[in-house]
């Protein structure tokens, strides 16, 4: 027998409880439970019964079961007009996929999605719905960016029911909602932006996309910590979660997928903000290779791998005799604890000891790299600064350092070396296990087993 009773929903994780408690029993957060009038089936299976009843109340029907074919046909993906964007999505966005895009205010989320809507709208029906801007404002931006699309429809409304009805009437292949915090549905009795509204609006968009096959991209505001505002349940409901990021004062933008049900996770796309909107950067290594015209001590290029691509990044190190009892260790773009470990390994297993020096390291371009392949180039750049000797401008390096001073291999060694050759580098210092099976034309590879060997190879004439 079904009955109405209040349900308390956690604004942090989306978990449900039958009674109010000071602490959420699911995620442990305090004072996050909000009263919602829900429909529960007595003896039902928790939230699954609640969702099924909600769908019935909304007038929707549950999807019919489908048998899994022995050879399922591959659904064609919707290309978004930029190869960098298609790369992040895993080859374009699939029909019925729901994506959530977050980023700081003014970083270019609306600009990027308007460009995407215009590119897709040239051949397929697209609806761009905004609850923040009027159609006149969106039109002015489109004219400034020289965008035009015969099948692109603009709508300024924050009623989710109106947006979904128009999208259904137009048989839109792509629906852009900017932003989810401004949307409101009659299914929730609260103001836009509340946890209840965010949850119900996102769930309705997911149901609409799955039932009709429309690809949906949702814009989400972020908190001061950089996370998408609202309950964590939003990221669990959608198929793809993207974050738009930029270094302060830089015109370059980085788009990263932190969740992707239909493609690789942590894939990166690079864009540049121009007067004509966002333009993709096809050779992102050029962003991180703005080196001095003359070789200087403390600089070396490493071959990192972020997402599914190899990137050449300049590593800079500066050492200075300490004036304090405890030397300073400052790291930008790499883990500070990892840096402290590398300095200890250098002091113990090489002729170069930074023990009495302040050490500052930085990755050019504002990118943060967490992989261990940065160990060897960091150690060589620090050694170059200690010696006051510039390294070969055409030298690259990568490799992990162990606590006993050994140089350990890293994944995708040959792919890294081939990317170095494409960028014009002629020498490489790599772990022994990463030595290429066949010689690479135009590249001299020195495979080393220990840090001491690597330092001698780097400083040889």
291-307, pLDDT tens digit by residue?
666 789 999 999 999 87
Q: Are 62 and 259 in contact (CB under 8 A)?
A: no
User: Region 11-26: what's the mean pLDDT?
Assistant: 80
* Predicted local distance difference test score (pLDDT) of residue 52: 43
Task: Please name the helix (run of DSSP H) or strand (run of DSSP E) that holds residue 115, with its range, or none.
Answer: helix 109-121
Q: Tokens standing for 188? A: 């929730």
- For residue 259, the SS3 value is strand
What percent of the chain has a predicted confidence (pLDDT) above 70? Answer: 89
Secondary structure of residue 269 in the 3-state scheme? strand
Q: What's the mean pLDDT in 14-20?
A: 80
Q: Which of 73-82, 212-221, 389-398, 416-425 has the least mean pLDDT? A: 73-82
The whole-number average pLDDT for the span 259-288 is 89
pLDDT of residue 292: 66
Q: Is 80 exceeded by the pLDDT of residue 41?
A: no
Give residue 26's pLDDT.
Answer: 80
- 56 or 254, which is more confident? 254
pLDDT band at 231 (very low <50, low <70, confident <90, very high): confident
Q: Is the Cα dihedral 284, 287, 291, 297 positive or negative?
A: negative
Rounded to an integer, the average pLDDT of 172-178 is 97
Contact 359, 319 (CB under 8 A): yes
Find the mean pLDDT for residues 284-293: 74
Instruction: Give the pairing of strands 126-130 and 152-156.
Output: parallel
Q: What is the CA radius of gyration of the chain?
A: 27
Range in 127-136, 217-226, 311-320, 425-434 with the lowest mean pLDDT:
217-226
CA distance 41 to 58: 16
Closest CA to 296 of 234, 236, 219, 384: 384
Tokens for 78, please give them.
Answer: 């919707």
**pLDDT value for 63:** 63
Taking the C-alpha atoms of residue 447 and residue 430, their distance in angstroms, rounded to an integer, is 5
Structure tokens at 165: 């009805």
Cβ-in-10-Å burial (0-12, 13-18, 19+) of 156 comes to: middle
pLDDT number for residue 293:
64
Span 224-234, mean pLDDT?
A: 81
pLDDT band at 226 (very low <50, low <70, confident <90, very high): confident
Q: What is the pLDDT of residue 294?
A: 77
The pTM score is: 0.78
Average pLDDT for 21-47: 65
Q: Encode pLDDT of 313-334 as tens digits.
A: 999 999 999 998 899 999 999 9
CA pair distance 270, 87, nearest whole angstrom: 10
Which domains can be identified in the chain, with CATH numbers? 2-57 (no CATH), 83-282 (3.40.50.300), 287-459 (3.30.230.10)
pLDDT of residue 5: 66
pLDDT band at 290, cuts 50/70/90? low
Distances (CA, A) of 68 to 29, 61, 71, 214: 40, 21, 8, 22
**What does the pLDDT average to over 448-459?**
96
* pLDDT-above-90 percentage for the chain: 67
- Strands (E) across 118-223 are located at 126-130, 152-156, 174-178, 215-220
Query: 4 pLDDT exceeds 70?
Result: no
When pLDDT is averaged across residues 404-429 and rounded to a whole number, the result is 95
User: Beta 252-260 vs 268-274: how paired, if at all?
Assistant: antiparallel
345 in Cβ contact with 403 (< 8 Å): yes
* pLDDT tops 80 at residue 197: yes
Q: Which of 54-63, 127-136, 395-404 has the lowest mean pLDDT?
A: 54-63
Residue 46, pLDDT > 90, answer no
pLDDT, tens only, 336-376: 999 999 999 999 999 999 999 999 999 988 788 989 999 99
């Amino acid at each position: 027998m079904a009955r109405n009773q209040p349900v308390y929903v956690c604004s942090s994780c989306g978990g449900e409880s039958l009674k109010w408690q000071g602490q959420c029993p699911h995620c442990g957060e305090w004072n996050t439970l909000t009263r919602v009038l829900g429909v529960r089936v007595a003896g039902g299976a928790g939230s699954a019964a609640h969702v099924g009843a909600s769908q019935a109340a909304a007038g929707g029907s549950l999807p019919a079961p489908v048998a899994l074919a022995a050879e399922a046909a591959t659904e064609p993906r919707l290309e978004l007009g930029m190869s960098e964007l298609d790369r992040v999505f895993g080859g374009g966005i699939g029909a019925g996929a729901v994506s959530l895009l977050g980023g700081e205010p003014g970083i270019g989320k609306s600009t990027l999605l308007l460009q995407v809507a215009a590119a897709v709208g040239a051949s397929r029906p697209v609806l761009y719905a905004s609850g923040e801007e009027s159609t006149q404002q969106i039109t002015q931006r489109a004219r400034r960016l020289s965008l035009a699309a015969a099948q692109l429809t603009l709508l300024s409304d924050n009623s989710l029911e109106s947006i979904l009805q128009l999208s259904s009437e137009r048989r839109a292949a792509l629906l852009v909602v900017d932003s989810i915090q401004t949307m409101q549905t009659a299914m929730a009795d609260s103001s836009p932006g509340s946890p209840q509204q965010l949850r119900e609006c996102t769930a309705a968009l997911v149901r609409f996309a799955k039932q009709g096959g429309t690809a949906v991209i949702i814009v989400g505001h972020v908190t001061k910590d950089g996370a998408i505002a609202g309950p964590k349940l939003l990221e669990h409901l959608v198929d793809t979660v993207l974050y738009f990021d930029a270094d302060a004062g830089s015109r370059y933008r980085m788009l990263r997928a932190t969740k992707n049900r239909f493609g690789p996770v942590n894939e990166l796309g690079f864009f540049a903000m121009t007067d004509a909107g966002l333009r993709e950067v096809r050779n992102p290594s050029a962003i991180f290779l703005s080196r001095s015209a003359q070789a200087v001590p403390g600089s070396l290029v490493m071959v990192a791998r972020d997402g599914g691509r190899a990137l050449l990044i300049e590593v800079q190190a500066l050492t200075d005799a300490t004036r304090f009892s405890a030397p300073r260790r400052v790291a930008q773009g790499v883990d500070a604890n990892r840096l402290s470990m590398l300095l200890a390994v250098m002091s113990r297993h090489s002729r170069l000891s930074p023990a009495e020096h302040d050490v500052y390291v930085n990755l050019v371009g504002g990118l943060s790299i967490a992989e261990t392949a940065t160990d060897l180039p960091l150690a060589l750049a620090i050694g170059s600064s200690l010696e006051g000797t510039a390294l070969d401008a055409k030298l690259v390096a990568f490799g992990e350092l162990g606590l006993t001073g050994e140089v350990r291999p890293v994944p995708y060694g040959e792919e890294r070396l081939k990317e170095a050759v494409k960028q014009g580098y002629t020498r490489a210092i790599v772990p022994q296990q990463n030595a290429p099976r066949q010689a690479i034309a135009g590249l001299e590879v020195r495979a080393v087993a220990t840090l001491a060997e690597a330092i001698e190879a780097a400083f040889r004439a």
